[in-house]
Amino acid sequence: MILKLLTVGPFASNCYIVGSESSKRGIIIDPGAEAKLILKTVNDLGLTISLIVVTHMHFDHVGALTPVKEGTGAKFALHEAEAGLGVFSRMLSSMTGGSFSQLPKPDKLLKDGDKIDIDGLHFTVLHTPGHSPDGISLYGHGIVFTGDALFNYGIGRTDFPGCSYDQLMDSIQNKLMTLPDETIVYPGHGPSTTIGEERRDNPFLV
C-alpha cells in the first residue's frame, strides 16, 4: 500500500493519499488546502484517484475539495449526517477570515459499517461523531484514519455548534478503543500514534 501524508493549510491539517501498489488506483482523505500540492503529489506517485473521502465537513478538511475533485475526476464521499453540506464550515471560515468555495454535491453518502474497496484497498467506515455530527474514521490494513476524533494524546474539540463531548467520548471508547492496540492512528492534525498508546497515556482516556 502507498501512503503519503501532506500537512496543508494554515491549520496544519493532514491530507492522506492512499494507493494500491499494484493498480496505482487510490483515494484522497481530507483535501483541506493546497490543491496544487495535492495534485502534484498524486501525479508524482503515479496514482489515479478514484475517490475522495472527507472525514468531516469542517473547512480545514475540505478547503481544496473542489479543485482536487476537478483535477482528479474522482467521486466524492462523506457521511450521510452532513445534511447542510458545509454550512457550518462556511460560517466558521468567514469568522476566521478565510474563504470557502462552493462545494460539489457528494457522489456517495456513507454510513457506519460501509466498505470502501478499491482494488487492494479495503477500509470500513466507522461513524465517530462528537467533534461534528458527520465525523467518520476509516479502518483497514492495521491503520485507522480518525479525522478530528482522536489525536496523539488528544481528542477533537467539542465547543463548536453541533459538537458533543459525551458523543465524542462514546465514539472513541466504542468505535476506536475496540481496535487492536497495534493499530496505527493517522489523525486529522498532528503526528501518528497507536490505539494502544492512546489507551494507556491519552489524558482524556485514562
DSSP string, 93-105: HHHTT---PPPPP
Q: Is the pLDDT of residue 181 over 90?
A: yes
**pLDDT at position 96:** 47
Q: Each residue of 76-131: pLDDT tens digit?
A: 999 998 755 554 555 555 544 555 556 888 999 999 999 999 999 999 999 999 99
5: confidence class by pLDDT, cuts 50, 70, 90: very high
Mean pLDDT of 149-174: 95
Alpha carbons 44 and 81: distance in angstroms, whole number: 34
Mean pLDDT of 31-47: 97
- Strands 154-155 and 150-151, how do they pair? antiparallel
Question: Which of 81-85, 128-132, 159-163, 183-187 has the weakest average pLDDT?
Answer: 81-85
Q: Is the pLDDT of residue 39 over 60?
A: yes
Mean pLDDT of 18-23: 96
What SS3 state is found at 34? Answer: coil
Q: How many helices (H) and strands (E) does the chain have?
A: 6, 14
Please name which of 73, 24, 75, 67 lies closest in space to residue 45, comparing C-alpha atoms: 24
Q: Each residue of 46-78: pLDDT tens digit?
A: 999 999 999 999 889 999 999 999 999 999 999
C-alpha cell belonging to residue 134: 458527520
Q: Is the pLDDT of residue 162 over 60?
A: yes
**pLDDT at position 138:** 98
**pLDDT at position 48:** 98
pTM of this structure? 0.93
Mean pLDDT of 173-200: 98
Mean pLDDT of the chain: 92
CATH of 2-201, one of 3.60.15.10, 3.40.50.300, 3.90.1170.10, 3.30.420.40: 3.60.15.10
